[in-house]
Amino acid sequence: MVKNALIGIIVALVFYASGCSQGETTSKKGNDSKEAVELLNVSYDPTRELYQEFNKEFAKHWEEETGQKVTIQQSHGGSGKQARSVIDGLEADVVTLALAYDIDEIAAKRGIISEDWQSKLEDNSTPYTSTIVFLVRKGNPKNIQDWDDLIRDDVSVITPNPKTSGGARWNYLAAWSYADKTFNGDEKKIKGYMRDLFKNVEVLDSGARDATNSFVQRGLGDVLIAWENEAYLSINELGKDEFEIVNPTLSILAEPPVAVVDKIAEKKGTAKVAKAYLEYLYTETGQKIAAENYYRPRDPEVLKEYADKFADIELVTVDDAFGGWQKAQETHFNDGGTFDEIYAE
């Protein structure tokens, strides 16, 4: 019995080892031959539809260009969780996450991405952007027009937990920027505004999608603070006669960045195709796919084409207003930051 089991285990191990080495040899040859190659793109939640479309286009383009077949595997989840998977050993060729902080952490913790990754591609390595808008119930019964309406006593707000959701951090920073402008940088008044805002939040869901569900499916709250693309998706999937989008006077330029995971791609021999994959996001085709999926294209020409979709809102950037993501994370979202202060007793 035990002997048989041992033999079984040994056989399995031998198979596994040979399988591994075989896998490595084929991918090593990936770039110099015309053999099929596989990419793993580790992304976050709301990009599902975008990359489904984009992957098809890129595979077609790459085969025409080089004659090589490429298949792209997608992985989606909360941005922070996805970054941790890569840190813990998930072999991603490229990462396309919700905020630069998550990619910074991969670079810092494992050194598989170079520290200066954000300067490697155009526009801060962000081929598409988004912003933070409000979703309200049809007819806007509470007449919510701007950030100052969210602290009214009769308004209930839905936003996810900045401790667990990347999207929620963008929401928080957008609200902070508005208060910053309104109170001319008076920290005490800004914090007062943030406290009043979160007094109106009755549920802190752990992810952006969950918050959308609370607002849309459970009928909670009068206003959902959300990614622009999520807000559009809600309207499209759940009927135009139930919700509408309200654009605040000021919001934040959300930059979900992309990067090649250098060391992994080199090891797998996919560096060239991975780089081409991300660069293709910047081409007209890539930009159009982004716009079709309600992400704001960087290319001004394409943006003009889709101008009716994207309202002209005054946008601040994380770098200008908060001194970059590392600093924003430390000041606002790490333990003891301004978000914790709101709930401290």
Partner 1 sequence: MIRGKIRSTKHHNVLPGFGLTMGYTTLYLSILVLLPLSMIFFYTARMGWTEFADTVLDPRVVASYKLSFGASLAAALINVAFGVLLAWVLVRYRFPGKKIIDGLVDLPFALPTAVAGIALTTVYAPNGWIGSLLGFKVAYTPIGVVIALIFIGLPFVVRMVQPVLQNLEKEVEEASSSLGASRLQTFRKVIFPELLPAALAGFTLAFARSLGEYGSVVFIAGNMPFKTEITPLIILTKLEQFDYSGATAIATVMLVTSFLLLLVINLIQWWTNRKFIHG
Q: Would you tell me which residues interact with partner 1 (CB under 8 A)?
A: 2, 80-81, 83-84, 87, 105, 109, 161, 163-164, 202-206, 210, 213, 217-220, 329, 333-335, 340, 343, 345
Closest by CA to 173, choosing from 44, 322, 291, 300, is 322
Residue 315 — left, alpha, or beta (φ > 0 → left; ψ -120 to 50 → alpha)? beta
Smallest separation (angstroms) from partner 1 to the CB of 184: 29
Of 244 and 340, which has the nearer Cβ to partner 1?
340
Smallest separation (angstroms) from partner 1 to the CB of 103: 12
Smallest separation (angstroms) from partner 1 to the CB of 243: 16
- Element (H or E) spanning 9, and its range? helix 2-29
- Element (H or E) spanning 340, and its range? helix 338-343
Smallest separation (angstroms) from partner 1 to the CB of 344: 8
Round to whole Å and give the CA distance between 26 and 115: 30
Of 31 and 164, which has the nearer Cβ to partner 1?
164
Sign of dihedral through CA atoms 19, 24, 30, 33? negative
Of 313 and 342, which has the nearer Cβ to partner 1?
342
Contact status, residue 73 vs residue 99, Cβ threshold 8 Å:
no
SS3 229: helix
Smallest separation (angstroms) from partner 1 to the CB of 235: 20
Smallest separation (angstroms) from partner 1 to the CB of 80: 4
Smallest separation (angstroms) from partner 1 to the CB of 84: 6
Of 84 and 142, which has the nearer Cβ to partner 1?
84
Smallest separation (angstroms) from partner 1 to the CB of 149: 22
Residue 143 — left, alpha, or beta (φ > 0 → left; ψ -120 to 50 → alpha)? left
Of 79 and 287, which has the nearer Cβ to partner 1?
79
For residue 265, the Cα-to-chain-centroid distance in whole angstroms is 21
Of 106 and 289, which has the nearer Cβ to partner 1?
106
Give φ, ψ of 271 to 5 degrees.
-55, -45
Round to whole Å and give the CA distance between 85 and 110: 12
* Greatest extent of the chain over all pairs of C-alpha atoms, in Å: 78
Of 242 and 314, which has the nearer Cβ to partner 1?
242
Sign of dihedral through CA atoms 304, 306, 307, 312? negative
Of 87 and 311, which has the nearer Cβ to partner 1?
87
Closest by CA to 104, choosing from 116, 94, 96, is 116
